[in-house]
A = this chain, B = another copy of it.
């Protein structure tokens, strides 16, 4: 298994449960593990019955396991403040208000949320030397993966800005031979530096997702979830990212064999329908089914989490090829 493991899927399918269970399994196998949650609703704080925040914190009673929770709304807000600050330093005071307005608008467009969250993921990946394994309870999807094609565009902007700067520097140099100021200006341009940093961030993200990450998708046994999973597999493969396994969650439990009545009929119908869908999933996807987990009435935590972890047929061993 790669160092970074993502459990993707639509809201409500049970990603947090599955990723927490997998993280627990890794920790129990002596991997230093960090589980990262971005789901504000059903969070790792619920699963482990302990409050987590933006900084990794040890999980009580479990060796080798840390957890953190990222609040996407806060990320957008921080991203906004950071961008304002960085650009505010580089323009004249007269322009600051106008720039702030434009940055605010950019952050109010649909998609700002995903972009800010993606940035934060990359931060976590870059800063994970202390861990053998980092488990995310979400996965970049179509919209976010598109960010991976940004480096090419950013390079275009950087090249053009550099050309313009070089022209200016030449003019300066002709006007003041021997003065080193113009050349320093070329080296230290803060806008170019920022574009360069963004480009490198996305390049790092692309390389890391391709070479050191494993993707799993969690789905429920309904037609909508199956179609969405097909779309997610296609979206990831467009960027050469292969899904390694599917986890089907929330299967309806069967009644006892001798049970009769309205409830038993309802459950048998449902179980039969879901078995058909499992067959569909097995035949339609090239990706293997690594777990089929029944619905629990109680919240999954403690013993139940260990039960779910045992049902996951997902390796916890470090990947030999990734250890270099």
Contact = CB atoms under 8 A, between A and B. Distances in A.
7 contacts: A12-B12, A41-B228, A102-B153, A105-B153, A108-B146, A108-B149, A263-B267
A256 B259 CA distance: 11
A119 B110 CA distance: 13
A111 B110 CA distance: 4
Interface string A118-159: 000000000000000000000000011011011001001000
- Copy count, this protein chain: 2
A195 to B, nearest CB: 14
Contacts of A146: 108-110
Indicate the size class of the contact surface on chain A: 35 or more
Given A255-B263, A259-B261, 9 more contacts: A10-B12, A12-B12, A105-B149, A105-B150, A109-B115, A110-B115, A110-B146, A253-B262, A267-B267
**DSSP majority for the A interface?**
helix
Contacts of A42: 223-224
A114 interface: yes
Contacts of A222: 12
Interface of A: 10-12, 40-42, 101-102, 105, 108-115, 143-144, 146-147, 149-150, 153, 156, 220, 222-225, 227-228, 253-256, 258-264, 266-267, 269-270, 273, 297
